[in-house]
Structure 1
Amino acid sequence: SSTKGPGGEHMFQLSTMRFATVSEFRGRVMVGIREYYDAGGELKPGKKGISLTLEQWTSLKEQMDEIDEAVKELS
């Protein structure tokens, strides 16, 4: 389930300090995966991460079965 981040973005926790986010930037919806850090009790986005446009997100989702197969091969 998602929570609202400090900037109003939807945050989905992946691990202790890593989140997937859905936010708006300059009028465009972006999907991000980013590490966060604790700044005095408030979560702040770190430098490590990536933001995908909706087009890139759609492309990633369309290739998910192939990505899963590649992960299985290497696991």
Structure 2
Amino acid sequence: MSGRWKRKEEEYESDGSGDSHARPNKVSKADSDDIVVCEISKNRRVSVRNWQGKIWIDIREFFVKDGKKLPGKKGILLSVDQWNILRDHVEDIDRALGES
């Protein structure tokens, strides 16, 4: 995995709130090709990335350091197959939420 996931989260800020849905935008990076799909809260983002020749869905928390938003350790990187399994079970998850 890339060393960028090993950064310290000393100035980590997470409020976990917010239902804002940002428009997709492209984030240019030298080592990957990221498309930010949505901001699910102030410090949480869903993006699709091409990393090491494979497509990944990255759901990750970010922190602010020196005025820059950087990826934190907390998150999950799903393969396309894993994403499809999760997507196929959204209705089951919604049903379980209704029962709780």
TM-score (norm 1): 0.88
| Cα pair distance change 1:44/1:29, threshold 3 Å | same
Q: Which runs of 4+ in 1 moved over 2 A?
A: 3-8
Aligned twin of 1:69:
95
**Which deviates more from structure 2 when the two are superposed, residues 38-47 or residues 49-58?**
38-47
Answer 1 or 2: higher relative contact order, Cα 8 Å, separation at least 6: 2
Q: Please say if 1:5 is aligned against 2:7.
A: no
Structure 1 stretch 7-16 or stretch 64-73: which is displaced more?
7-16
Cα deviation code 1:7-65 (max 9, x no counterpart): 34112200000001110111110001100011222211000000000000011111111
Higher alpha-carbon Rg: 2
Q: When the two structures are superposed, what TM-score results if normalisation uses the length of structure 2? A: 0.68
Instruction: Give the AA of the match of 2:76.
Output: I
Alignment coverage as a number of residue pairs:
74
Question: Following TM superposition, by how much is the alpha carbon of 1:73 offset from its aligned partner in structure 2, in angstroms?
Answer: 1.1
Q: AA paired with 1:2? A: P
Question: For residues 69 and 51 of structure 1, what CA distance do their matches in structure 2 show?
Answer: 25
Amino acid at match of 1:34: R
| Higher normalized strand content (fraction of residues) | 1
> Alignment partner for residue 72 of structure 2, among 34, 46, 49?
46
Cα RMSD (Å) of the superposition? 1.3
Equivalent residue letter for 1:71: L
Structure 1: stretches of 5+ with no match in the other structure: none
Identity of aligned residues (%): 31
